[in-house]
Structure 1
Amino acid sequence: MSFNKTGNSALDAALISWFESDKSEWTRKELNDRIAANDIAGLESIMLEHMEFGTAGLRARMGAGYACMNDLTVLQAAQGLCRYLQEVNPDVGTQGVVVGHDHRHHSSDFAKITAAVFMSQNIPVHYYKPLACTPMVPFGVIKFGAAAGVMVTASHNPKDDNGYKVYWSNGAQIIPPHDSGIAGHILKNQKPWDGIWESFPTIEDKIECQHENVLSDYITQCTQRSKSMGTEAKNAKITYTAMHGVGTPFVARIFKSFEHPDFIPCKEQVQPDPEFPTVAFPNPEEGKSALNLSMAEADRSGSELILANDPDADRLAVAEKQRNGEWKVFNGNETACLLSWWVYETMKKQNPGANPADYAMVASTVSSKYLAAMAKKEGFTFEDTLTGFKWIGNRAIRFTQEGKKVLFGYEEAIGFMVGVNPPDKDGVHAAAVFGEMMQTLYGQGKKLSEQLDALYVKYGYFISKDSYFKCSSQDTINALFKELREPGYPKACGRFGIKNIRDCTTGFDNRYSDNKSVLPTTADIQMITFYFDNGAVVTMRTSGTEPKIKYYSELPGPLDEK
């Protein structure tokens, strides 16, 4: 294609290469419009930068150019993943891959392109044609013994974003060295393979859809593994929101399997809608601002509990109406306190005489230390990991390989894993388990918040405050963390002394004699933890999926000091 030269030779070369490879009308139109408007700065930002294949895959704004999610960059990612699997796994040709997608704009096309790439190499594709919740992909990887899985979703990101999440053959999100290996092969496979553009629009006609097959097994296994026995049930009302995402049919089905009453839907948000019209950010972690419509519906219907999934249904938020009529939104740590207690009690009920030492729980290192206190008192094994479920899931798998039974894992960002199949956060399964806990406690005349207080009395008090700052400037981020490190780490914050420092970016941790962190070093993510003299722990880190600087703080207290 010919176009007026921009005056930037590197940009012109990138545009020529793009137009030679891209066959999608919507991205070609966007580039032509930018060229016609002489938008050089805009073109440079999308054509001279490439998305980084990082935390579990890709995530970026949808649009034209190498820096965005579009048909060509997804095709390139699929080709790179395919070649990497062929290099490291000689059985990929029989094991195949699992592919699913959510409801976002272009998600279906991205999934079809991925399927077309693998099928062009005679690699079987276990494909979900209807909308899938994210947990179905890692569950399917394990069910089919697949070499990998791909879920097309941007989770709770804004509507203009999309993503490409990759799971390994063990069902967990990818970790090093696979991430860098895949990234390297993506760069080596930029040119579309012959026939891919022509094959993907009709690829679904050539694949047997595995959606119902997998969903049925998933619901059955979740119910058999987690449904308690002999509970005092009460048919209390629950309001549910899918946050304009895919969760509704999956939660409805698992509720039926758990023999819960039907939930009351938040009508404005219960159907999939890629425009997310009622929320600025489709993330239930935002709290009351994201749950106001659900609270209004619950008030109308007389519900005392709200369960909210994020759009791809791998996270769960919980809110409960208190006795004074006010709504309490539980943070991720509080929800985990309740879930871990319930899962542990269910295990003891199902396995009388079980040895606690045979069981394990896992959490990210920025999550509450409550699980560590519970493990110390009860006798099961607990370990924390780097932030992100790729680390939690893989550690849980190693526990099972060591002979431990993993009961629970979580991260404070409302991600919960009950059991270890799939070894990833699962908002659908967690919703069913939480619903059963609520029905039982309500049958005993007890609020969830009251049970939480009882757990604090038993295991210790933990007060946490987590939030974030938006920041898309890498220079600002680098300067901020440089100031925390140079000319030396701070020894105090105001009148509060700092006893120890852990810097997972550099591998430094002065809690140990060799000053080396036992957690893996993550040079691509900034993360520093400060341990205060009074027991408080504060961590600052950058997000791997969003332009945010996050902070986490917690102050523990002894059993007799609320």
Structure 2
Amino acid sequence: MAASKPATPLDLIKTLELSGEEDLDEQIKNWIIWDRNEASINQVVEVVKEQDWQALRLRLCHQIHFEPSGLLGIMRAGFDSVNDLIIIQTAQGLSKFLIDAYPSLQKRETQGVVIGYDGRYNSKRFAQLVATVFLNENFRVYLFQRVVPTPFVPFTVIRKKCLAGIVVTGSRFPKEVNGICVYWTNGALVIPPIDRNINNAIQENLEPRPTSWDLSVLDQNPILEDPYREIYPGYYDTLKKSISPAHLETNECSQLRFVYTAMHGVGYPFVKEAFYQARLKPVIAVLQQRDPDPEFPTLVHPDPEEGRVALEMSIKKAEEEHCTIILATDPDATSLAVAELDPKGRWKIFNGNEIGALLGWWTLECYKTRTQKPDLANCVMISNIVSSRILAAMAREEGFIFVETLRGFKWMGNKAFELLTLGKNVLFAFEESLGYMIFSNLMDRDGVSAACHIATMACHLRTTRNITLIEKLREIYDRYGYHASVCSYLISDDPSTVEKVFEHLRSFDGAPGTYPKSVLGGEFQVMNVRDMTTGVDTTYADNRARLPVNINHEMITFTFTSGFSITLRGVPDENKLKYFAEICGLPEEKDWGELSDKLYRMVDAVIDEFLQPKIYGLRTNMSNE
């Protein structure tokens, strides 16, 4: 008896009782016809059989969008999520956009694209699907055949002069999440209008071509290669050159040891090699978190910004090994957390601004050490509008250029590239969310090089002056002024609340365009307002913002005469209103306790008087993010 043929997608559709709603039924049919992953087809079919039309409408009638720099979502069936079909749609749109941007076939075949991936569920398969789409469009593809840190991809873009770089990673998000980051030809994450144009190209190329599913194109393809053997030594050669010979010698002599956790991510072998190249003592790994594990079994959130919760096992390991410094990278090794044991036996977990201050001082020190005739007037350091102003204070004292950008390394990386093309020497960039750029042929945050430089700095300080990172941070504040910050958020149950609060802030006196003028009964006056949603910036005579404006993102910064500033940012998808507050003291202001008290007083006052949580139903969260 002959075996029955497997049902075609159309046959399967005929067996189902659909909703009777035209738009939803069209999307159900599209999913079943377009998807070729049996597991995700079955997910949709089962929900159809259960007739849960509300769930299907949420999953199938909302298309996930390519946001600035990439796309991110839960891995499951649905056009609103991340899965094989969505990855193919994204790759088809991106390849079409690149063909339009670079119509030369020779350029595509020679420069091509680079693709990397992390250790999460489906990351390798997603990377292979992306590679398949690009190979079918005659792009040369540099596909890493093993997990690598995300920074290896932008490094490869510049070294191989690729047209773009793609990383499959969920970074620091929980295990259910994955996504894609896209780097442009300059090695920096894409920014507007490129991201919008990519999204438009994706929406115009939603139907997957049959060849996009056929991974056999990866077999012995002449325009497919693994760049690992070239990039691995190239990266470490660049890293080693960023450390002066004198500091390499100090590292070799130092007995300082470091506990390190990769948070179940890709970082361990790469940080281990960085320490070897820098002549540091080998890192002491937290074994339970050393190797890639997509389950993240010891961490609910594999995010170094979670503070002591994320570093709990590292602290235990450090105490067992009698180590005084802990280093931690997130799962794709882009971010770095640092903790140090203080003289009273308490662990000081540095926030991102404090690490930025330390690395800012250190990169300047390294530049002076390895340069015979330092030209500080041509040197640049960069941070963004929600990060500490400590680099600005250093720039005033030392004579280098400080540049501020919008929030996110996509802006800082592109600004760094722009400045490099103008002949500037970009020494360092950082943002408060534990991201640091140490050398200027990698236009993104890099936890591997940051870990190596923090360790080298610690060895230098301990060997030459017998001081700790904590003590060095105090010296930095003593010289450039005390800078203290607090970053947290308020929560609402109503998705429309955040927008209402910002509308209130822009008509504070009852008339449009009027903002709050003071807090605490006029004790502290607002000096400037910068509204990156409407384009108002009272810093300038014409009241017009110089940074790019985005009408879809709520963000306002208030700067007070007291040296206090606070940036308010809406995150409507999470029903959050985040705030980033800082007080900047002058070098002659030595009562740091008083400044810290003023910081918290003013944060409380802004929340109470500007945001009015009781009126708008906002709940506070006083723990740092």
TM-score w.r.t. the length of structure 1 is 0.97
Letter in 2 for 1:226: I
Cross-structure match for 2:616: none
Confirm whether residue 10 of structure 1 aligns to residue 23 of structure 2: yes
Residue 366 of structure 1 is aligned with which of 381, 386, 396?
A: 386
Confirm whether residue 491 of structure 1 aligns to residue 511 of structure 2: no
Letter in 1 for 2:546: V
Cross-structure match for 2:452: 432
- Superposition pairs of residues 390-401 of structure 1, within 5 angstroms: 390-401=410-421
CA drift of 1:39 comes to 1.9
CA drift of 1:403 comes to 1.0
Cross-structure match for 1:59: 72
CA drift of 1:366 comes to 1.0
Residue 550 of structure 2 is aligned with which of 522, 529, 533?
A: 522
Contact 1:58 1:163 in 2 (8 A): yes
Q: Is 478-487 or 144-153 further displaced after alignment?
A: 478-487
Contact 1:243 1:276 in 2 (8 A): yes
Residue 229 of structure 2 is aligned with which of 200, 212, 234?
A: 212
CA drift of 1:228 comes to 5.1
Residue 112 of structure 2 is aligned with which of 83, 86, 96?
A: 96
Q: Which structure 1 segments of 5+ residues have no match? A: none
Cross-structure match for 2:430: 410
- Superposition pairs of residues 159-198 of structure 1, within 5 angstroms: 159-197=175-213
Question: For 2:526, what is the secondary structure of its paired residue?
Answer: strand
Confirm whether residue 281 of structure 1 aligns to residue 301 of structure 2: yes
Q: Cα gap change, 1:92/1:479 in structure 2, threshold over 3 Å: closer, same or farther?
A: farther
Q: Quick one: distance in 1 between partners of 2:324 and 2:371? A: 32
Cross-structure match for 1:25: 38
Confirm whether residue 513 of structure 1 aligns to residue 541 of structure 2: yes
Q: Quick one: distance in 1 between partners of 2:536 and 2:218? A: 50
Contact 1:55 1:544 in 2 (8 A): no
Question: For 1:361, what is the secondary structure of its paired residue?
Answer: strand
Q: Quick one: distance in 2 between partners of 1:530 and 1:201? A: 56
Contact 2:155 2:442 in 1 (8 A): yes
1:198-217 Cα distance to aligned partner (Å, 9 max, x none): x2266265332222321111
Q: Cα gap change, 1:60/1:16 in structure 2, threshold over 3 Å: closer, same or farther?
A: same
Letter in 2 for 1:221: T
Q: Cα gap change, 1:339/1:204 in structure 2, threshold over 3 Å: closer, same or farther?
A: farther
Q: Cα gap change, 1:221/1:460 in structure 2, threshold over 3 Å: closer, same or farther?
A: same
Cross-structure match for 2:59: 46
Q: Quick one: distance in 1 between partners of 2:144 and 2:237? A: 18
CA drift of 1:38 comes to 2.2
CA drift of 1:10 comes to 1.2
Confirm whether residue 537 of structure 1 aligns to residue 581 of structure 2: no
1:128-166 Cα distance to aligned partner (Å, 9 max, x none): 010011000000111111000000011111111111100
Confirm whether residue 353 of structure 1 aligns to residue 373 of structure 2: yes
Cross-structure match for 2:215: 200
Confirm whether residue 305 of structure 1 aligns to residue 333 of structure 2: no
Query: Who wins on radius of gyration, i.e. which is larger?
Result: 2
CA drift of 1:479 comes to 2.3
Cross-structure match for 1:131: 147
Q: Is 225-234 or 518-527 further displaced after alignment?
A: 225-234
Q: Quick one: distance in 2 between partners of 1:21 and 1:509? A: 48
Letter in 1 for 2:310: A
Q: Quick one: distance in 2 between partners of 1:536 and 1:201? A: 59
CA drift of 1:241 comes to 0.4
Question: For 1:176, what is the secondary structure of its paired residue?
Answer: coil
Q: Is 215-224 or 490-499 further displaced after alignment?
A: 490-499
CA drift of 1:543 comes to 5.2
Letter in 1 for 2:242: R
Q: Which structure 2 segments of 5+ residues have no match? A: 1-11, 593-625
TM-score w.r.t. the length of structure 2 is 0.87
CA drift of 1:480 comes to 2.8
Cross-structure match for 1:268: 288
Q: Is 536-545 or 43-52 further displaced after alignment?
A: 536-545
Contact 2:244 2:369 in 1 (8 A): no
CA drift of 1:404 comes to 0.8
CA drift of 1:6 comes to 1.7
Q: Quick one: distance in 1 between partners of 2:529 and 2:361? A: 31
Q: Quick one: distance in 1 between partners of 2:447 and 2:219? A: 28
Contact 2:341 2:348 in 1 (8 A): yes
CA drift of 1:347 comes to 0.7
Q: Quick one: distance in 2 between partners of 1:425 and 1:323? A: 31
